[in-house]
Structure 1
């Protein structure tokens, strides 16, 4: 029987490519986190007036 090649990362130049994918993923996750925090800060301290169309409050 012939030996089957490993299904892990190929040894032919795939190292930098996988590293680039990891960097891109990390940058995207950091940007997502920054945008979420910015949105929370803007909602908390951005406007002092209450929104005009608040659907969570009932008017009795």
Structure 2
């Protein structure tokens, strides 16, 4: 199995204040901008989104 680089994918636990991995978390710890509560694309997270980084 390939280890996809998910460092650009926002950590869903961090956003809700519950990530226990801290700085060692493989997901991005970023706060969504005001008014931007978009859910991450489930296909992009799996690495199979046809839009790639433009999703």
TM-score range, shorter chain: under 0.3
**Whose helix fraction is larger, Structure 1's or Structure 2's?**
1
Q: Flag the structure with larger Rg.
A: 1
Structure ranking higher on relative contact order (CA contacts 8 Å, 6+ apart):
2
TM-score (norm 2): 0.18
TM-score with structure 1 setting the length: 0.18
